[in-house]
Chain A
Amino acid sequence: MSTSIPALAAGAAAGGTRQAAGRPATPAAAVGALQAALAAEHAAVYGYGVAGAHLSGARRRAAAQDWQIHEASRDALAAMITALGAQPVAAAAAYRLPFPVHGGPAAVMLAAFLEDRVATAYLGVVALSEARLRLFGARALESAALRAAGWRGRTLAFPGLETAAPGPVASGPGASQPAPNAATPGASSPSPSSPGPASQSPPPTGTAGA
């Protein structure tokens, strides 16, 4: 039932890895990479709406600011795709969250997760041969990495190329299943010194659909 709802991760992950092979710069390659970035921006706009609802004070303001940035990026990408003669991909009505978000810590993790996915999508744009697009992708990748570091309080060695240590994903079915707070053990145990996936939860099977 929830399979028709796209996962927040799907668009970005596909776009990032596809372009990694580095094919010659055809308009189709540019359109594909930009569409993947746009899909990731759509997901980020949705996801920040969820995250912001669980945050307060300075963090809520930060989420609102980042949300606006992603809206602006979404519009810019749509314009670029239109200029290339293609139809920009539309946002989905809803997205499956990578893990349940019921409080501030999980909301912060969601924001960092969204930025990681956006970074991966822009890495696909970096693989394009056209210098202008490559630099555009690299700057957008850097911006996403900065926002992710701001949320996470730590940095990644290879933003966009690697995903961060998996978050605490407890309930498989996804956001449609209202899980109790106890189902997100990692969210309440920050442990900043151990980025490794020390928790017992396996990778989420619910978001595996491409």
Chain B
Amino acid sequence: MVREATRRGVLAAVVSLPLVATGCKGIGALGTPPRQQPDVTVVRDAIDAETLMISRYHAVLAAVPALAGSLDPLLQQHREHLARLRARLIEPATASTPAHSPAVAASAAAAPVPGTPAAARAFLRHAEQAAAQALMGKLTAAPPSLAQLLASIAASEASHALLLGPGRTA
């Protein structure tokens, strides 16, 4: 009896020892999500920006359906941006992401959208320019491969703005 108890005590001590010895915070450390890395924040912001941009395109297309032919290819590329950015983010499904996107979408839906084709294109052109500029501002905070992705998306958005300029048909 006594012997058994002692053996159990020793086993328990052995099991708990490595956790203490390695300075680990114990089992609890596995349950709490790690603190957010700076580049995670950068990716989150970029995801929000893309989500907002897609919402704007949807709002413009709802207001001016005649623009579908010229805007659909650009919208599709924003969806590709969003997918590529999301693939960069590995996080538990229960994380706070749901709180992100609906809020972003709601703010976009609330914003008024111009009703004429020319004004709607100008609206999107300015949004694209601002988005490209915002991404350029994040480059130095990102690790190299993420910086490449952000720079490429910024270049894509800048070229969207070019094609949305007056006198262009695309």
A44 adjacent to chain B (CB < 8 Å): no
A127 adjacent to chain B (CB < 8 Å): yes
8 Å CB interface, A142-158 against B: 142, 144-146, 148-150, 153-158
Which stretch of B28-36, B51-59, B76-84, B102-110 is in the interface? B76-84
Q: CB-defined interface of A160-195 with B at 8 Å, one 1/0 digit per residue?
A: 110000000000000000000000000000000000
Take A126-B151, A145-B159, A146-B158 as given contacts and tell me if A154 and B73 are in contact as well, using a CB distance cutoff of 8 Å.
yes
Shortest Cβ gap from B53 to chain A (Å): 13
Main SS at interface, chain A: helix
Take A146-B162, A155-B73, A155-B159 as given contacts and tell me if A22 and B151 are in contact as well, using a CB distance cutoff of 8 Å.
no
Q: Are A155 and B80 in contact (CB under 8 A)?
A: no
Chain A residue, CB-CB nearest to B74: A155
B163: chain A residues at CB < 8 Å are: 149, 153-155
Contact of A135 among B139, B145, B156 (CB under 8 A): B139
8 Å CB interface, B142-169 against A: 143-145, 147-149, 151-156, 158-160, 162-163
B76: chain A residues at CB < 8 Å are: 157
B170 adjacent to chain A (CB < 8 Å): yes
Take A135-B139, A155-B163, A157-B80 as given contacts and tell me if A141 and B156 are in contact as well, using a CB distance cutoff of 8 Å.
no
Q: Are A161 and B159 in contact (CB under 8 A)?
A: no
A20 adjacent to chain B (CB < 8 Å): yes
B37 adjacent to chain A (CB < 8 Å): no
Q: Are B143 and A153 in contact (CB under 8 A)?
A: no
A146–B159 Cα distance when bound, in Å, is: 5
Take A128-B144, A153-B170, A157-B81 as given contacts and tell me if A138 and B139 are in contact as well, using a CB distance cutoff of 8 Å.
yes
A145: chain B residues at CB < 8 Å are: 155-156, 158-159
Q: Are A157 and B77 in contact (CB under 8 A)?
A: yes
A21–B155 Cα distance when bound, in Å, is: 20
Q: Are B152 and A159 in contact (CB under 8 A)?
A: yes
Shortest Cβ gap from A129 to chain B (Å): 7
Chain A residue, CB-CB nearest to B79: A157
Q: CB-defined interface of B104-125 with A at 8 Å, one 1/0 digit per residue?
A: 0000000000000000000000
Q: Are A158 and B145 in contact (CB under 8 A)?
A: no
Q: Are B151 and A137 in contact (CB under 8 A)?
A: yes
Take A146-B159, A150-B162, A155-B73 as given contacts and tell me if A134 and B152 are in contact as well, using a CB distance cutoff of 8 Å.
no
Chain B residue, CB-CB nearest to A192: B170
A127–B142 Cα distance when bound, in Å, is: 10
B149: chain A residues at CB < 8 Å are: 158, 161
A127–B150 Cα distance when bound, in Å, is: 11
Chain B residue, CB-CB nearest to A131: B140
A123 adjacent to chain B (CB < 8 Å): yes
A138: chain B residues at CB < 8 Å are: 136, 139, 147, 151, 154-155
| Additional 12 contacts, C-beta under 8 A, given A157-B156, A158-B156, A161-B148 | A20-B145, A123-B152, A126-B147, A134-B139, A135-B140, A138-B151, A142-B154, A153-B163, A155-B170, A157-B77, A157-B80, A158-B80
25 pairs, CB–CB < 8 Å, chain A vs chain B: A20-B148, A22-B143, A23-B144, A123-B148, A126-B147, A127-B148, A134-B139, A134-B140, A134-B147, A135-B139, A137-B151, A138-B139, A142-B154, A145-B155, A146-B158, A149-B163, A153-B170, A155-B73, A155-B170, A156-B156, A157-B156, A158-B84, A158-B156, A160-B151, A161-B149
A interface residues (Cβ-Cβ under 8 A, vs B): 19-23, 119, 123, 126-129, 131, 134-135, 137-139, 141-142, 144-146, 148-150, 153-161
